[in-house]
């Protein structure tokens, strides 16, 4: 169920104690039972074969090979249909699922530390969201670092949003979503749309997002309990992506700018993730600026667990994305403000 967590406690079913959670944080549990057997097996596999893998020199090529193998493993099966498209100079894919697409459009910004791509995995996640939302998704293949330093990725993502508007997609029918680095790009895209005076999309959805590239070292220090992300991987991001740029530039790090005037945001993150602090910070800054942001912390779920279609927690999380998007879809295309209806529920 959804509830407030008054104090720190151990995770359901034992294991490492959970970090202290703020009292205004939504904690996703099912009568305090431990994570599903599938989730526990996935966490164990991540720890054994990914996080604890012996890499003497964790370089960019090694990281890209690792992500490619994860894409082959976790991206198997699925029902995503992909069609290449030129989104006004940005290479992209139109993605649909099994269900016929309705009027909605999902702009999905993939993760990968700004350095990597996992096309099968992300196409599968986008296709599942399409089925739930009655949408088709545009996934831009934004330029990657270090070949194209930031903010090249930011520029490609706002360009893709402008292209959707130019194609006649009503802003009130657009949901912008992203995971990890793509979650940071989601915030950046919403900021750039606001600053350019573009009509805002209906809402934003962020899975395990970053928001502050000046705090990557803090995330690395918090990676001990994360079943997937290692301190080495985060330090690689700091070395390859952050060193050549100014991480306190508001054109690059959303947390360095204002998060006011954005559409409603839903943030989902695992309780032991290295990026829990960044996810929490994005929500706090949005609320402090007068915006609407909902934070859901899922006990012991790994980074972007929503992508694992066979996890029961993933299915429940995406059903909540659908409820959130439905609640914040202006029925008459009006301005954002008070949500169409309060979003509560049982998971």
Cβ atoms of 179 and 117 closer than 8 Å:
no
Q: What DSSP line would sit under 275-333, residue for residue?
A: THHHHHHHHHHHHHTT--EEEEEETTPPTTGGG-TT-HHHHHHHHHHHHHHHHT--TTS
User: 292, 303, 328, 336: which one is catalytic?
Assistant: 303
Q: Mark whether 180 is an active-site residue.
A: yes
- For residue 106, the SS3 value is strand
User: 172, 273, 296, 313: which one is catalytic?
Assistant: 273
Question: What torsion, rounded to 10 degrees, do the Cα atoms 286, 287, 293, 299 define?
Answer: 100
Q: Give the chain's end-to-end CA distance (angstroms, integer).
A: 5
Q: Mark whether 314 is an active-site residue.
A: no
Cβ atoms of 301 and 14 closer than 8 Å:
no
Q: Mark whether 336 is an active-site residue.
A: no
User: 180, 230, 253, 279: which one is catalytic?
Assistant: 180
Report how far residue 294's alpha carbon sits from residue 87's, in angstroms, rounded to the nearest whole number: 31
Report how far residue 132's alpha carbon sits from residue 113's, in angstroms, rounded to the nearest whole number: 27
What φ, ψ does residue 154 adopt, rounded to 5°? -60, -45
Query: Where in the sequence numbering do the catalytic residues fall?
Result: 180, 273, 303
């Amino acid at each position: 169920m959804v509830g407030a967590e008054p104090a720190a406690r151990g995770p359901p079913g034992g294991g490492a104690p959970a970090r202290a959670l703020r009292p205004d944080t939504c904690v996703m549990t099912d009568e305090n039972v431990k994570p599903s057997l599938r989730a526990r097996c996935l966490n164990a596999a991540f720890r054994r074969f990914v996080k604890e893998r012996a890499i003497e020199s964790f370089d960019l090529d090694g990281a890209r090979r690792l992500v490619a193998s994860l894409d082959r493993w976790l991206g198997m099966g699925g029902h995503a249909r992909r069609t290449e498209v030129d989104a006004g100079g940005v290479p992209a894919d139109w993605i649909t699922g099994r269900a016929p697409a309705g009027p909605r459009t999902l702009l999905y910004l993939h993760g990968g530390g700004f350095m990597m791509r996992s096309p099968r995995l992300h196409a599968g996640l986008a296709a599942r969201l399409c089925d739930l939302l009655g949408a088709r998704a545009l996934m831009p293949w934004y330029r990657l670092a270090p070949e194209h330093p930031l903010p090249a990725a930011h520029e490609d993502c706002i360009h893709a949003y402008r292209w959707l508007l130019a194609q006649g997609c009503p802003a009130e029918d657009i949901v912008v979503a992203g995971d990890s680095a793509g979650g940071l790009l989601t915030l950046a895209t919403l900021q750039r749309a606001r600053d350019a005076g573009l009509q805002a999309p209906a809402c934003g959805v962020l899975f395990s997002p970053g928001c502050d590239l000046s705090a990557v070292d803090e995330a690395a220090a918090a990676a001990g309990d994360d079943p997937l992300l290692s301190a080495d991987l985060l330090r690689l991001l700091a070395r390859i992506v952050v060193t050549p740029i100014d991480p306190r530039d508001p054109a690059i790090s959303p947390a360095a700018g204002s998060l006011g005037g954005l559409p409603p945001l839903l943030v989902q993150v695992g309780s032991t993730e290295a990026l829990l602090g960044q996810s929490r910070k994005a929500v706090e800054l949005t609320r402090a600026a007068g915006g609407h942001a909902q934070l859901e912390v899922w006990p012991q779920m790994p980074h972007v667990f929503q992508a694992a279609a066979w996890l029961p927690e993933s299915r429940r999380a995406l059903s909540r994305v659908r409820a959130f998007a439905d609640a914040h879809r202006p029925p008459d295309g009006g301005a954002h403000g008070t949500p169409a209806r309060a979003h509560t529920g049982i998971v």
